[in-house]
Every structure is written in C-alpha cells, then in structure tokens.
Chains A and B, each alone.
Chain A
Amino acid sequence: MRPDQEIIQRWIEPDSRVLDLGCGDGSLLANLKQTKGVKGTGLEIDGDKIQSCVERGINVIEQNLDAGLWNFQSDSFDTVLLAQTLQALSHPDQLIDEMLRVGRRGIVTFPNFGNWKSRLYLSSKGRMPVSKFMPHAWYDTPNIHFCTVRDFDALCEEKNIRILERTVVDLKHEGSLSMRLLPNLLGEIAIYHIARS
C-alpha cells in the first residue's frame, strides 16, 4: 500500500460512500471495500488503470477531473478522496470546492514541495527537483501545480475549509515527533482530512 493509503484507511468510516478522484488501478478502493465495506466509485482517465479497476470489480468512470464533478449530485458521498492527484490538476482550488460539494468530507494527499530535500535540491543545484519521489523532468511532468503544506493551509483558510486532521509522513510512511513539529520541512507526503465549515 502507498504510504498515504494506510492513514486514509483509518479516516474512512465503515460502510460509507467513497468517491476516489484519480483512483488509479483501484487498489485503494478495493482495499476499502474489503476492510471497511465501503460503497466506492473511482474516476480515472488512464485506460490501463480503468481496465485494472474493472477486473478488480471496482466501479470506475472514465472522466477528466479538470472537467469538474458536474455529473455528481451534492452530498452524494460521505468522503471524496484526492490522493496524489492535486498537483496534476489544472484548477486544484476549484476541484477542492467540488469535492466538498459532492462529499461531506474530503481527504487530500499531495507531495509536499516544501520538504527540505526539494528545498536543498533547488537551492544547491538551482534546478527543479527530480527524485524517486518526484521522478519527472520539469517539461514532461504531469505535476503542474506543486504546493507546500503551508500553501495548502493558506488555501484552506482562504476558502474557509475546516482542517479536521493533518499529518505528514515520509516515503517509508513513517511519521515522527519532529515531522509533527516541522511538517512543511520534514514531511514528504501531506495528508489532509477536510470538511466544509
């Protein structure tokens, strides 16, 4: 399981309705279905990943998130997930509004660009960071809207979004006291549980 997924699993209520935006191969939803009995649906645009979802028996809808969630009714899900996809959206702020229209709660995870490794890479090499964690060159990356933990906090405040919980982990999925104290510097993956105020 991806480092952020175990934390997501803890936050999901049993038997709830979950919409996973950019659901990938459906493994997270499959896991939530099995362990929490959730009724899940995923949105995805990659054909191979959609096929994996179908084979796993996960409901998946081929839909580009940049077009919004127009076809979903307000309050039709308990939780809307956006895992490691925020940074690839054309209008991440608009999608977050949409998430909290369609779902009572949202869970957002993203690579924290404020992590010390990114800062060091940029400051010492003067080039956009490329690592195992962010493996793309600047010109062919799907990640067009990087942000930091502090940026996301500011967005939530601006939009009057309630942060129910926030945690950061590293790639090994380990959290620590120091990470809790300095999340924007030490956290590699940020995980937010949010709701409308």
Chain B
Amino acid sequence: MAIDSTQLEETQTSALRSAIDAPDSVGIVTPRSYHFDEPLQLRSGKTLPSYDLMVETYGELNAARSNAILICHALSGDHHAAGYHSASDSKPGWWDSAIGPGKAIDTTKFFVVALNNLGGCAGSTGPTSINPETGKPYGPDFPVVTVRDWVKSQLNLMDRLGIEKWAAVVGGSLGGMQVQRWAISYPDRVANAVCIASAPKLSAQNIAFNEVARYSITSDPNFHAGRYLEHNTYPKQGLMLARMVGHITYLSDSAMRAKFGNAGSQLENTTRGNLGRDLRSGTLSFGLNVDFEVESYLHYQGERFSSNFDANSYLLMTKALDYFDPSVDYGNDLSKAFAEGDCKFLLVSFSTDWRFPPERSRELVETLLKAGREVTYLEVEADQGHDAFLMPIPRYINAMRGFLDNVYKELVTDAS
C-alpha cells in the first residue's frame, strides 16, 4: 500500500512526538535570554559594553544550589543542548544523547545549564546583534572573543543564577578548552571538570585547517569585508566550503568508508566493501556532477550550515580556538596554570580522532599529573573520528555516567 504524503507526515509527527515524550528526554524546552549591563573587559583589550546570553536549563536546581552542571559548546554548537523547541522540531539539541532524565548527564539529579557563547549567532550577543554605537549589526566590528572571555561571561551567568560552585563543567573539543579555562581561572568555582576530545592548545595543522576555513569565507565575493548583512547577502559559498573542509576533519577515514560504503559495510569491516565509494545514481556521470554519496553529503552539510550559521561568528569561533593557550601566562608551563584548585578531572579521547588525537589528551593528562591533580583518563576505541564526542559510544558515555554519579553521591553526602 502506498503511503501518501499526509500519512507520511502523520507518521513522522507521531514518531517525533514519541521522541519528545520519551521518558529519557527533557521534552520541550524554552531558551531564555539574560541581559548583562556590566561591561565585559575582553582579553584583546576591547570592552563589550553590555551583552545578552541565550541560555537553556534542564532539571531543577536543588535547595543547596550545589547540583549545577555547565555545558560548554564547541565550534558550531549553542545553548540548545537537549530536548526540542516545539512539537514540530525535527531534531533535538546537539547533545541530547547525553543529557536527559536517566542519561549520563542525568537531569533528575543535576541542574544543567547550557548557553550560546558570545560572538555566536543563536541568540547571544554576536556579530549579527545591533551595535548600540552605530545602530547597525556589529558584523566585522564585533570584538575578537577568546575562551577566557567566554568563561568570564559564564561566570557572570553563574552569579546571576545564584550558583556558587559548579558540580561539574563539561565540554568537548572547543568546549573542553572552556572546561580547562574554568579550572585555571576560577578554581574554587568548579568541583569537577569533564574534558572530552580536547587539547591544551591547537597544533599548526589545526590552525591551518581553520585558516582554510577563514580564507574561504573572507575570499567569497559576497563577504564584503564582513558587512554582508548591510548588502543583504552572505558569503554562502565560502561558508559551505569552510564547513565541507571541517566535516572531512571531524570524520575519520574509516567512518567515511562506513558512512558512504555499500550496504552491509559496517564500521568494524571497513577494509572490505567499496571503501565508501557508493554512487549517488548508480552510474558515473562523466561530467563535473556529484557522482559519489560522499560528495552529496558534503554539499548537503555545507548547504545546511551556510543557511544557519553566521560567517562572522564562524570566523570568531575559529580564532578563539587558535588563540587558546593558557600556558602563555605561566612561562609556557601549563602545569603551573593548574597548580591551584582541587577539582577532579575526567578526560576522554577517541582512537580515530585526528583533529584532537589521543596524544593531545595524554599531554593534558601529563600536565595535570605534574600539577598534582586528580585525573581519570580514557582512550576510547571509536571509528567516528572527532565527531565521536557527540555520539553515544557506550564506553565513553558509561564512564561519564559513572563519574557524574560519584559527583552526585558526594553532593548528597556533603548535604547530610
């Protein structure tokens, strides 16, 4: 029996409704904006006179205000980490696999706070916001923000929410850098630090990928020196290319073989099969068309991203990544940066991650040990490359759950 489009929509809607109503989903969530009038002094020397932070929270803050977990997002993430914004929302928040009732970051135990960082484009003050001095969007005039600046703004949010100490600060990739910065800058405000697939600073290879992304954006004829909004356009091609390159680096060779390989080629069996060379239409076009599935995927991802993400924000986020190096204030000895505080660390890396490979996490482990800090570190076999940190890989998720369960047990013990 053929299913007509109305039936299909109904099926999809009911599937979605059951996902929203699932007992381990935080369900429908509504973001909230917090305004800050106090100027924010930035690392660059510039000042942001006032700003807004877009925030989502899940779970309940306990009476002692001790069960709060801060989630720090990565390059293209935002405050929408879990749940759905409406019943017609097709996708949940970016870390819905880890956040929810009974999930690794358990919202029946913890009050989870996620925000969009400054310079972003999902509701917090950024290049698309109106510059109060000119009445026009900031565009390229939005100051360069660093991980340190983000964490400072997160501290202000924390104070606004009346939280004295995070039970844990959690983040992957660029989010993991914020976790490190929290432990360094505000050691007495963090009880536990969960730093996934991150690095103490970028390598030249990483900076190089970011520069390719930036150059593709800034060389797009529609970039207009960053004032594209004033020209009612945006550097779509540049953003697409930036994202396509990014996507290649987030996946591993084996993940791509599996994702685009002929039916039946599983992750564990990627040397067989067709190496991920599935064709779009079954035949080669003998032209410059999209022949392979992988090409189609990159185009789709680039397209989707370019219509959802602001180019100036992307430039800012990549700069924040490049600039992160907390050791500069400590004579290039990062262990001195971690000398203060007693928060415990959980670090996880993934075997096929070549953007933030295991040796970068091991470096961080070595630094933390040198600083005399308590560290737990897992090196998880995973084929998904850097993207693994966003996926519900059992070893990784179970370790995070186990670690946070102990955080919660200590909270309960301390309270009694």
Contact = CB atoms under 8 A, between A and B. Distances in A.
B130 interface: no
Nearest to B404: A54
B398 A51 contact: yes
A60 interface: yes
Contact of B376 (A54, A70, A71): A54
A71 B362 contact: yes
B369 A71 contact: yes
Nearest to A64: B379
Interface of A is mostly: mixed
Q: Which of A51, A61, A72, A73 has most B Cβ within 10 Å?
A: A61
B375 interface: yes
Interface residues of B, number: 22
A60 B374 CA distance: 9
A93 interface: no
A41 B406 contact: no
Contacts of B403: 54
Contact of A72 (B369, B395, B406): B369
A53 to B, nearest CB: 8
A73 B344 contact: no
B303 interface: no
B370 interface: yes
A131 interface: no
Interface residues on A, range: 10 to 19
Nearest to B406: A57
B399 A61 contact: no
A160 interface: no
B376 A60 contact: yes
Contacts of B375: 41, 59, 61
A51 B395 contact: yes
Nearest to A73: B370
A51 B365 CA distance: 18
Nearest to A39: B374
B406 A55 contact: yes
A50 B409 CA distance: 19
B193 to A, nearest CB: 13
Nearest to B373: A59
B408 to A, nearest CB: 11
Contacts of A53: 376
B365 A59 contact: no
Nearest to A70: B366
B309 interface: no
Contacts of A142: none
A55 B395 contact: no
B399 A50 contact: yes
B23 interface: no
Contacts of A3: none
18 contacts: A41-B375, A47-B395, A50-B378, A51-B395, A51-B402, A54-B346, A54-B376, A55-B405, A57-B406, A59-B374, A61-B375, A61-B377, A62-B377, A62-B379, A70-B366, A71-B369, A73-B369, A73-B370
Interface of B: 344, 346, 362, 365-366, 369-370, 372, 374-379, 395, 398-399, 402-403, 405-406, 409
